[in-house]
Amino acid sequence: MMTAAIIQLLNKNMTIYLYAKQHRDTGLRYFGKTKSNPYTYKGSGTYWKRHLKTHGNNVETTWVQAYEDEAILKEEALFFSKIYNIVEDKAWANLEVENGLDGKCNLAGTSHPCYGRKVTEEQKAIQRAKMTGRKQSEETIAKRVAKIKGQTRPSHSEYMKQWWAERKMNNLNCQIGKEGKTNAEY
């Protein structure tokens, strides 16, 4: 199992690419970032993906730059976004300024748009009202039952049973004092 420090170290040393692409038939451009191969990666922008779906993936990668340092990456992504005015200029498919850090792959924790969002009781009541009375079809229920039927617990459950047993033993050992008495005997 990888520790958070190792994962952080691996992510820190990962190469991130800024790239610019242009559709060969329509001339529309897109500026983005990726951790995968920038020449084969299509891009993830909403408008850009819709454009590719409509006009085909006849795209060329016109510019690529690799970065190891996130601070430099962010600075240059914002600079590129500003210089080429990628949000306002209709020649670009970008709907937001590219900062090199955001993206759908980073929508966890504080990067997620709903992070820290407080749901009011009124909003909960609205959602509850929408869901109340919904009935699943017999076909849906049958599919779910068929999928679950015959499944066993995940293999990690045995590991967790052993882990809890060891933890309980360690706690019992900690409760025995210097004279060999347990806390209850004092």
CATH number at residue 80: 3.40.1440.10
CA dihedral 49→51→53→55, nearest 10 degrees, is -150
Residues of the chain with pLDDT under 50: 1-11, 105, 183, 186
Give the structural domain span for 23: 4-109
Tally of domains within the chain: 2
Q: Is 24 in the same domain as 92?
A: yes
102 and 158 housed in the same domain = no
pLDDT of residue 180: 56
Residues 105 and 25 in one domain: yes
pLDDT for the residue numbered 186: 45
Query: Within a domain: residue 119?
Result: no
Beta carbons within 10 angstroms of residue 101's beta carbon: 13
How confident is the model at residue 67, as a pLDDT? 94
Determine the pLDDT at residue 6.
44
Domain shared by 89 and 11, yes or no: yes
**21 is a domain residue:** yes
Q: Please, where are the H alpha helices in the chain? A: 4-12, 46-55, 70-83, 121-131, 138-148, 156-175
* Among candidate residues 91, 109, 127, the one where a domain is terminated: 109
> For residue 30, how many other CB atoms are within 10 A of its CB?
25
Residue-level pLDDT at 3: 43
Same domain, 90 and 27: yes
Residues 170 and 78 occupy one common structural domain: no
Q: Which residue has the tokens 């792959």?
A: 105
**pLDDT for 86:** 93
